[in-house]
Amino acid sequence: MAELALLFLLLPVAAATGWWVARRGERARRSRSSALSSSYFRGLNYLLNEQPDKAIEVFLELADINPDTVETHLALGNLFRRRGEMDKAIRFHKHIMTRPNLSDEQRALALYELGEDYMQAGLLDRAERLFRELAEHDSNNVVPTRQLLSIYQQEKDWEQAIEMARTLREDGPERGELIAQFQCEIAAQALNDNDTERARQALRQARRYDPRNPRARLLEGDLAWSMEDWSRAADHYRAACDLDADCLIQVLERIIECHRRVDDPDALDDWLQTVVERSPMTTPLIALAQRRAANDPQGAADLVLDRMARRPTVRGLKYLMSLLVSEGARLDRIDPALVGDLLDRLLSDQPLYRCQHCGFSGTSYHWLCPSCRRWNTTRAIRGILGE
């Protein structure tokens, strides 16, 4: 229906053309307007009857008849692109660019739409040429620059992506963050290629553009790890976790191994204790409890119980059960209400029903799926968290 609505936007264009001609009061132009309006309706009829090839021929002829229909033809080309008919969209937009007497604005718009066609068709090299032309023509227009950024990211051409990002106006942290991420990509590739010097240079640039980028710290840790500099690797990994607590999930095992290599378990325990006190995450809590469990299983159980009383998690409960089975810890202090509260929270966030056709899920049963509008496709969810 949205496509049909767009098509009917052409009707006022045809009417406006006829009004303009009548206003001029010239018989020859009045005749031309009548033919133009008739052609528009004929083209619309072809589109509405799913005959796009015939419609294209009509509208392309109209482009030669009336030089004021560029925007209408661009809209038609966009319609074909949205329908996934890329060959038709490209044909439309290329034809418009061959038109004489286009204004600079109209030509730029046609170039942009053709570039969009090429991008969606996967012809990235052709899209790149058009967007580069637009970017060079108007350096204040960031739209083609962002499209070039998208192309270079898809192609993993990080040097070109950096070049484009540098042309963005400095309207906030986005420019620096983008360049830092691209430099991290270069550093990661250099590490894979064992090119340590290139990795160092890229990481220096990453920290220059975004000093608080945790990924740069992680990669610096990887660089030190590759050189078996365990102390420096641990420092970088911990710094990344300080900037972004989620990094801990990625590198905790390496941090533990680094401390084992330098034989400094006390420093590891102190750091884990600090992380547990400031973070609600379960991973560092279990890591600290596992270290304590080697000498004091009951102390490890008490530590987890204390934290779970404030924020219960399934992983925490599972670890407590493992202590009970493997370490002989006593769980006399565990409150049955704690387990009940945990299960209630777990189940309260789970959908009860799912559409078998589109996957729409929710807590209410629908005979008519609100998403795909199919009847009788909703079923109760089965499995460990369902029926």
Q: Does residue 241 have a known ligand-binding role? A: no
Distance, in Å, from the CA atom of 10 to the CA atom of 8, rounded to the nearest integer, reads 5
Contacts of 83 (CB under 8 A, 6+ apart): 3
Q: Which residues lie across from 368 on neighbouring strands?
A: 375
**Among 173, 163, 259, 169, residue whose Cα is nearest residue 212:** 173
Q: Does residue 258 have a known ligand-binding role? A: no
> By the 8 A CB rule, do 381 and 387 touch?
yes
Q: What letter represents residue 217's amino acid?
A: R
Q: Does residue 184 have a known ligand-binding role? A: no
Distance, in Å, from the CA atom of 52 to the CA atom of 115, rounded to the nearest integer, reads 22
Contacts of 157 (CB under 8 A, 6+ apart): none
Q: State the DSSP code for 326.
A: I
Q: State the DSSP code for 375.
A: B
Q: Please spell the DSSP secondary structure of 285-308, one letter per residue.
A: HHHHHHHHHTT-HHHHHHHHHHHH
Q: Can you list the positions of beta strands (E) in the chain?
A: 353-355, 361-362, 378-380
CA distances 138 to 46, 74, 142, Å, are 38, 21, 9
**Alpha helices (runs of H) in 49-103, residue ranges in sequence order:** 52-65, 70-82, 86-97
Distance, in Å, from the CA atom of 242 to the CA atom of 248, rounded to the nearest integer, reads 9
Question: Which residue numbers belong to the known binding site?
Answer: 355, 358, 369, 372
Question: Which residue numbers belong to the known binding site for Fe cation?
Answer: 355, 358, 369, 372
